[in-house]
Structure formats: structure tokens, C-alpha cells
Amino acid sequence: MIFNWKTCFEKRLEEDPDMWNLWTTSDKRYLLICYLNITKNDINAELDGQVTGNLECHISSNQISDLKLTWESNFIRGRYDTTRQHFIVDVQDKKVIEVLSGCT
């Protein structure tokens, strides 16, 4: 019999509150908040066309430079929703570090 790691992991994650918190809660200081468009029901589709979905992304890091690098990537820059605000915050100090782009 082959052991099913996926089922075991899912069950432990769902039933163990300590494990849940460890795996789903970030201890990182900074947070990039951005909103990405899905076009033509495909995240890899042409960047122009009908928007068929959106992703709300919260990306955590202890380095602001890592978050800026992520924001400046072709993947993010080509898909961000121009009608929304995108920004980096300091979670500990509850302070906006930088507004990156968005409607004005």
C-alpha cells in the first residue's frame, strides 16, 4: 500500500490549529498588496483582452527591496489592475511605506 502524503497533510493542516497558524500566518514585516487581472480566463493569456477574473495578492517579506522587485517583474506589471491602489505597508508599525500605482 502506498502512503498518501497529500491526504495526511490536508487532514493535519485542517485539524491542527497550531499547524494551521504556522503554515498560513506570516511573520514577515512588510506586505505588498496588489490586484491582478486574469484575461480570457487564463493567467498566461495575452495581456490585452476581456478581464474575466481578478486576484487579490498579499505578498510578505522582511525586505522592502524584495517586494519592489516582485512589483517590477514583468508578470506583475503586465497584469495589475489600473483601477485599484497597489502599495507596500509595514505590518508592525501599521504604516504605508509606498503607494506603487493605482487610480488617482
Question: pLDDT by residue (tens digit) across 26-77?
Answer: 999 999 999 999 988 888 877 778 889 999 999 999 999 999 999 999 899 8
Asked if 35 and 57 count as a contact pair (C-beta separation under 8 A), the reply is yes
All structural domains of the chain with their residue ranges: 27-101
Whole-model pTM: value is: 0.81
Compute the distance between CA of residue 104 and CA of residue 97 in angstroms, rounded to an integer.
Answer: 18
Q: 53: how many CB neighbours lie within 10 A of its CB?
A: 12
Q: Which residues contact 82 (CB under 8 A, 6 or more apart)?
A: 101, 102, 103
